[in-house]
Structure 1
């Protein structure tokens, strides 16, 4: 590895064809690192057979609100099923000093392994965990076996690991038998690329002008706790329900229970369900209209939705699960309740409606991308150079 020069960093992650929070994280991290280093973005073009993806109809047709800096060498080349594309990706990272692999699903592990083998494995490998275990993958035996075998091989080739909370550090060290001293905690950055609109006009655009707006945003999956939020909402006193609206915005994945509960709810007229993919163009309207963002998860490592809410300065009500307590603990607008405690959730919502202290909170400085890039370079990238 070259000494006393700016390191070349390759970041391997999803492209915007499968637009998600990890796609945005990859873009924002690359842009932040590119201020001080040469950066290559090696992206997945096709991660799965398209029809296996629940949102397959929007693959490749959605637009991103943020793009890569012009200084970044971007290659959208990796296909889940095409070894020739892996060779192309390996060529891209061969001259890199450090390669950061964005890990959120085990289904791409064979591509990671191919990149390492075909590139000659000269670069130091960093794995950044966004998820420890995907519950859907581990529920299917073939996927579970694939994840265990392939994941073990990849982790043996990594020199460092990055997580976004001490909770995940302990969990990953235990789950994958990794020495905790090899795991570095760096906060998750803000998703602050969206404009803040007029609250009143945004509410009118959604047809809920004048109401106090509770917002749940994101994919509806069983562990997101939407059914608990609905039950808690039903417990609010009638005088508050008359002036409050619960907006649930996001595609329903594996969560028919919540959809049924909305239909059968005695306060269904106070619940607005947007069961669809929410485009980047629409996100500012929902978050600008919201008075309170609710994250009633029953399990979580991190939440990209929370980092949109923080960028908007919203009060956030979250459950005490996973890394949320740590990642949101430094944000002054956060209140916590126990997961699955519908009464506690209802009482806290009531208290926040009646005693709203301020409209906007300032985001913690450690969540800003320039600070995150400094942590990466000072604690991960530069120490690696000095050892060579």
Structure 2
């Protein structure tokens, strides 16, 4: 019977904390309400000094945890065969009927392959791979990593029982790039990242952050080249002077790429005193603080599959100026607080931001609660 099926979810632990860590925990906790769930975490993903966010590795900066009743193996290390043996024992004990592998980087492809091998040696569960990235542009730009990614990825993706992605556009890209039959690729939207509590009163949030300006424009999340922060800075500089005098641009997130270029651009800006850069991976207890202070959230991405930041902004009911790219066109189309702009278009960003400043409007969050999302997973599991 489907009701007796057990599911093992595989994703990164909180040691290398990222949006995929939050996603894995949220998915496992929500799924456990309906099914027997276990979890295998990848703990040490790669040599720490190679990780762009190494400053926060191992720090306890998230309040989100797996439900206490969930069996969790935490975890597998990229370089420790003893942890691989323990993972084998864990799978043998749990006997999952279905394994869901989270794919976001090729750095852990060999661990995915090991788990697929272990499953084949034991009770041969159905295996699903869930794509959070079609391809990482940084990995694609380095020849040895690109070759490794293609070889390991091809072995991993071969003849799986199902594939999950989060938008129709990504489904099409995955089908074309990896020669996977479209009918085996299933689109399941992301659930809202609503674990950060409610909004604070705006003036209280500004006081805590020592902000005196009336209008706050927020760029939030890991700072990478494809996320387009330089375009937002240029758009900010082109706001009318009477608006600039009452505004502050908050760029909040750990810098992963192009650090010097970003710092130089801010320093050279004629309005640098109105730009605040917070270069850190923001701990959970401070997330609500920044979104509470913000009048508008801007995500000027040049490309994107999905955005966890967009789902945080929607959970808080904030207006979001976002590039009309990739899966964002689908995931945010139903949210009334979405204001699409063409990617890399400074003037469109400027106009959208200017139109929203001072309105302080709250938007109803879309109906993407995790219980409804889980029903889609259960339907898929039943079908295979």
TM-score strictly above 0.5? yes
| Alignment-derived partner of residue 82 in structure 1 | 80
Pair 1:130-2:132 in alignment: yes
Query: Equivalent residues in 2 for 1:13-92 (5 A)?
Result: 13-92=11-90
Q: Paired residue for 1:238? A: 241
Q: Classify the secondary structure of the residue corresponding to 1:197.
A: coil
The 2-side partners of 1:234 and 1:62 are apart by 37
| Equivalent pair of 1:87/1:118 in contact (CA under 8 Å) | no
**1:280 aligned partner:** 284
Match of 1:363 in 2: 365
- Residue-by-residue CA offset, 1:64-109 (whole Å, 9 max, x unaligned): 2211112211110200012232232233234111100000001111
Structure 2 unmatched runs, 5+: none
Contact 2:15 2:59 (8 Å CA) reproduced? yes
User: With structure 2 as the length reference, what TM-score do the two structures score?
Assistant: 0.96
Looking at structure 2, the residues matched to 87 and 362 of structure 1 have their Cα atoms a distance apart, in angstroms, of: 48
How far, CA to CA, are the matches of 2:160 and 2:85 in structure 1? 20
1:6 is the counterpart of 2:7: no
TM-score, normalization by structure 1: 0.95
Distance in 2 (alpha carbons) for counterparts of 1:247 and 1:63? 21
Structure 1 residue 105 corresponds to structure 2 residue 109? no
| Separation in structure 2 between the aligned mates of residue 344 and residue 268 of structure 1, nearest angstrom | 21
Is the contact between residue 251 and residue 275 of structure 2 (CA under 8 Å) also seen in structure 1? Answer: yes
Alignment of 1:1-388 (within 5 A): 3-94=1-92, 95-120=95-120, 122-195=124-197, 196-255=199-258, 256-353=260-357, 356=359, 359-365=361-367, 367-378=368-379, 380-384=380-384
CA RMSD of aligned residues (A): 1.3
Within 1, Cα distance between the matches of 2:365 and 2:200?
Answer: 18
Q: Once the 2 structures are TM-superposed, how far is the Cα of residue 4 of structure 1 from its aligned partner?
A: 4.9
Q: Distance in 1 between matches of 2:307 and 2:264?
A: 25
For residues 142 and 236 of structure 1, the distance between their equivalents in structure 2, rounded to whole angstroms, comes to 44
Query: Retained in 1: the 8 A contact 2:224–2:255?
Result: yes
C-alpha separation in 2, matches of 1:383 and 1:92: 26
- Looking at structure 2, the residues matched to 359 and 70 of structure 1 have their Cα atoms a distance apart, in angstroms, of 38
- Equivalent pairs counted in the alignment come to 378
Name the SS of the counterpart of 1:17 in structure 2.
coil
CA contact (8 A) 2:5 2:98 kept: yes
* Greater mean alpha carbon deviation, residues 273-282 or residues 334-343: 273-282
Task: State the alpha-carbon separation in 2 of the partners of residues 133 and 81 from structure 1.
Answer: 23
Aligned partner of residue 120 in structure 2, secondary structure: coil
**Per-residue deviation, residues 130-154 of structure 1 (Å, max 9, x unmatched):** 0111111111111111100010011
Q: Give 1:287 deviation, angstroms.
A: 1.0
Q: Distance in 2 between matches of 1:381 and 1:93?
A: 18
Task: Name which of structure 1's ranges 87-96 and 106-115 shifts more when overlaid on structure 2.
Answer: 87-96
SS in 1 for 2:339: strand
Deviation at 1:253, TM superposition (A): 1.4
CA contact (8 A) 2:220 2:251 kept: yes
* Contact 2:113–2:156 under 8 Å retained in 1: yes
Greater mean alpha carbon deviation, residues 162-171 or residues 82-91: 82-91
Contact persistence 2:3–2:35 (CA under 8 A): no
Separation in 2, partners of 1:273, 1:50: 25
Q: Distance in 2 between matches of 1:210 and 1:227?
A: 22
Cα contact 2:213–2:248 (8 A) shared by 1: no
